[in-house]
Structure 1
Amino acid sequence: MTVTYKSKKMTLKTNDSDLQWATTFAETCKDMRPYLDAYLHIAYSGSNKFSIALQQHNVKCDNDAQPWPETWDSLEAARYGNESDIYIPMNHFNINHTRAIGFALKGFYSTTPTVFSTIEIVSQVPKGWTVASKLPSGNFVFACKRPNSFAFAIDDGDPQFAQQVMQTVKEENITVTFFTVGAPLQDPSTNLSSVYQEMAAHGHQIAMHSYTHPPLEGLEDEASIDWEYNNMIRAVSDTFNGMHTPYFRPPFGTEGARMRQRLAAVIDNPYIVQWSVDVEDWMWAESKTPEKQLDAFKRDVSKGGSLVVMHYLYPSTVGYLKQFIQIAKATGKQLMRVDQCMMDPNAPPLP
């Protein structure tokens, strides 16, 4: 992201929908309830193809604890504005306003720059201004809700390592959640449909991870996002005898208003599952120091993280899985599926 300041204006330009510009209200939690009836006003020029988020701190208001931020809500700039101004009711941001952190400008899906001249909170909108309605945006979660719980949420993998993963979780006597990509699931050459059917038969949760694994918020239009969701839902339903699940993990963790709104349009009250424990396999698994995956896991667990992201793509990561599980068990927390750790009434009962 390129950020430039000139003549009391800020220009943002990026070709990566995962990048953001953020500000903070205070060193720790800021109670923004006095502003619930006010409006966020942004004066700008250029592209309006981005999201605006209000971030929420963790319950300890501790920057060194996981998760940080605990969650946020993202709203679509284009829905709330015209060619020069944006007005968003503060109460449209679905977070705990007693623990606000600050605003973030994110989810850019155009390389056209945006020039910001004003970001402020005002008491009212201009006369004649029509305020957009609030659209559902799902449950955006980074950590388990059930007290003393911990969940392994495992993304897309290499079928050759699937049996080793199955054997490890069986030996450790836990259940986990697998986020599957739809297109490989439907490709007979991968054998992933059989792999995940076996995993489901052993009590593991199957959840969704898009159809072709693009950064969804970076896609050009809503039709492209809808295509991903509709094909993903169909692939899971066809593979698992009509199964429907509200659990979804965005590819690369890339989030924004459009991908959340479109998901909530096709799935009732979805869970958009991020993470607070990252083994960083994408960084270390094929490096000269794969053991740093263990260091990353221990670091986030020590900070209170309870929801894992990892992939069974690499031999080293799969080899460390038993140690990951044992480290998590040593915290005294109960290991379970994501739906169970979210206290979902539709989840299987705990043993």
Structure 2
Amino acid sequence: MRHSFPLITPVLALILILPTARSLFIRPFDQRPYEQQHWFETRQDTLPDPDPSKSATSLIIDTFQNPLHNDLGFWHGTGENLTLHHEPGFMRLFPNDPDQNFHTQFNTHECFSLIPWEDQYLHVVFEGNEEFTVSLNEHNAECNPARSPFPGVPDSVQASRYIMRTRSGSLDNGDDDWDDSSKLGRPKMPVKDGFKNDTRDGGHQHPAWATRTELFIPLSHFRINKNRVVSVSFTGFYTDEPITLYRVEFVPHVPHPSASNNYFTIPEKLPTGKLILRCSRPNSFAFGIDDGQPQYAQQVMRILDEENVRVTFFAVATGLRDRSTNFTNFYREMMRKGHQVALHSNTHPKMESLPTLHEIDDEIVQSIRTLRDQLNIGCTFNPPITAWALTLTVSSTARYFRPPFGTVGVRLRQRLAQYIDDPYIVNWSVDVEDWLWENTTTPERQLGAFYRDVARGGNLAVMHYLNPITAGYLRHFIRHVKGLGLNVMRVDQCLEDPNSPAL
């Protein structure tokens, strides 16, 4: 689950002290004070938003000179307990979870327009980990960080598909650091540890790459509203190799393919699933209820019957195949009553953390097969069926997928799009935080979390029925929403899916 942080006043002392530091190493437990307020910090020396009617040549976003702010004057930093190390000129990240992320912002309290650069390329110079997701994040419709969701929906690409490598020597252009490997037909490599002393910056060490690793990603590959953008982010790390970021910018051109850059060309944009955080239908509200404990299923059914509302259940396939849970009969009955049942993986792993596409595919395919076999939720396999060469035609009822733990990276989005036509990847803008509070001495804080996110504008919820107290709170959640004049419905209905049942 993703953590939600309250809106708090920026810590002035931290802002004044940290930017003067020569080097900054932030461990997860050190990170919390300014991580909680980072999105809401503002600066007086920021650049104004450009005139969207005018073209632009380039835009430098971040050269990592400051530990807290990028070159535009806005916050950059990490979330989900990602450890980082900063020195002037670079930011080194130490990921160990695909939920961890690093954002560099365009603006905080307003939407930023990328229209002047829409024909350009996102250029990133980095070193190390190449297995990650690059996202361009859309602001919410109100361009207001106090409204939910914030940040809004991203579109993402896989970094490793856009890498250009060019040979480059050390920063002083000397050749002493290069060995004679090329005489043996191998690429030249830097000796020692890849750094050499350079006194031009107070004795600071600078990298001397055997190859310069760069990304060139067309902004057209990010399918979001470019009139309201909030940040560039790096996330979806599924290995624990560190990554060092040196430069993030927009540039108008890509180097011409040549032997020196391995004849680099821009790859095609791969289809990806559509990430959903909120309902689109006016005055609607949807509950996405993930699997729970079988003994509380009848309690949930009774509340939904008595409140006369319909919801969407996201079912884990292993539970459906386990006859002892009786989940198959339960969900068949819920479908008969008009509720929606949708995909939630096969075994409930953090799918973006899985090391191979084979494992991600297995979670998707087994989930689709199980809903077809156990609940007759329609999909057809076009024969012949081989282990990893499947062609699926999936009906609209099986287009909806909730990723376990809400963890979403581009590999998951791409693989879902391979098996499902135009899949919806359904996360949320309202979190009841049952995963945090249900087994504590203050389970009522689930009510507070729900009321808070609804007040911020969220209208798509996540909850489970793993605990009798949480299951009982479902009635309170429903009545609170009804009291606000919102109509409770299934996820496909709240997204105005033309194939969903009439209201």
TM-score of the alignment, normalized to the shorter chain, above 0.5: yes
For 1:116, give the aligned amino acid.
L
Aligned twin of 1:47: 129
Q: CA deviation at 1:70?
A: 2.3
Aligned twin of 1:79: 161
Q: Does 1:11 align with 2:89?
A: no
For 2:225, give the aligned amino acid.
N
CA contact (8 A) 1:181 1:232 kept: yes
Aligned twin of 1:235: 370
Q: Which of the numbers 115, 119, 124 marks the counterpart of 2:248?
A: 119
Matches within 5 A, 1:193-212: 193-212=328-347
Q: Which of the numbers 22, 25, 37 marks the counterpart of 2:119?
A: 37
Counterparts of 1:286 and 1:241 in 2: how far apart (Å)?
35
Alignment partner of 1:157: what SS?
A: coil
Aligned twin of 1:276: 429
Matches within 5 A, 1:155-166: 155-166=290-301
Q: CA deviation at 1:7?
A: 5.0
Alignment partner of 1:55: what SS?
A: strand
Q: Which of the numbers 63, 84, 92 marks the counterpart of 2:221?
A: 92
Structure-1-length-normalised TM-score: 0.98
Q: Deviations over 1:242-286 (max 9, x none)?
A: 524100011100011100000011000000101011100000111
For 1:230, give the aligned amino acid.
V
Q: Deviations over 1:275-320 (max 9, x none)?
A: 0111000001111000000000100111111000000111110011
Aligned twin of 2:482: 329
Alignment partner of 1:5: what SS?
A: strand
CA contact (8 A) 1:176 1:337 kept: yes
For 1:6, give the aligned amino acid.
E
Q: Does 1:298 align with 2:451?
A: yes
Counterparts of 1:196 and 1:334 in 2: how far apart (Å)?
23
Counterparts of 1:242 and 1:20 in 2: how far apart (Å)?
35
Counterparts of 2:151 and 2:276 in 1: how far apart (Å)?
10
Counterparts of 1:37 and 1:302 in 2: how far apart (Å)?
38
For 1:240, give the aligned amino acid.
L
Aligned twin of 1:314: 467
Count of aligned pairs between the two proteins: 350
Counterparts of 2:113 and 2:353 in 1: how far apart (Å)?
32
Aligned twin of 2:306: 171
Counterparts of 1:5 and 1:299 in 2: how far apart (Å)?
35
Farther-moved stretch of structure 1 (82-91 vs 200-209):
82-91
Counterparts of 1:241 and 1:301 in 2: how far apart (Å)?
34
Q: Which of the numbers 218, 224, 233 marks the counterpart of 1:104?
A: 233
Runs of 5+ consecutive residues of structure 2 not aligned to the other structure:
1-81, 166-212, 258-263, 380-397
Counterparts of 1:94 and 1:9 in 2: how far apart (Å)?
28
Alignment partner of 1:290: what SS?
A: coil
Q: Which of the numbers 265, 268, 271 marks the counterpart of 1:136?
A: 271
Counterparts of 2:484 and 2:421 in 1: how far apart (Å)?
34
CA contact (8 A) 1:70 1:141 kept: no
CA contact (8 A) 2:276 2:426 kept: yes
The structure number with the bigger radius of gyration is 2
For 2:281, give the aligned amino acid.
R
Q: Which of the numbers 6, 20, 24 marks the counterpart of 2:105?
A: 24
Q: CA deviation at 1:47?
A: 1.4
Alignment partner of 1:179: what SS?
A: strand
CA contact (8 A) 2:164 2:216 kept: no
Alignment partner of 2:360: what SS?
A: helix
Counterparts of 1:218 and 1:34 in 2: how far apart (Å)?
36
For 1:346, give the aligned amino acid.
N
Q: CA deviation at 1:324?
A: 0.5
Q: Which of the numbers 142, 146, 155 marks the counterpart of 1:60?
A: 142
What RMSD over aligned residues (CA atoms) do the two structures have, in Å?
A: 1.0
Identity, in percent, stands at 48
For 1:74, give the aligned amino acid.
S
Q: Which of the numbers 225, 235, 258 marks the counterpart of 2:411?
A: 258
Counterparts of 1:45 and 1:276 in 2: how far apart (Å)?
34
For 1:190, give the aligned amino acid.
T
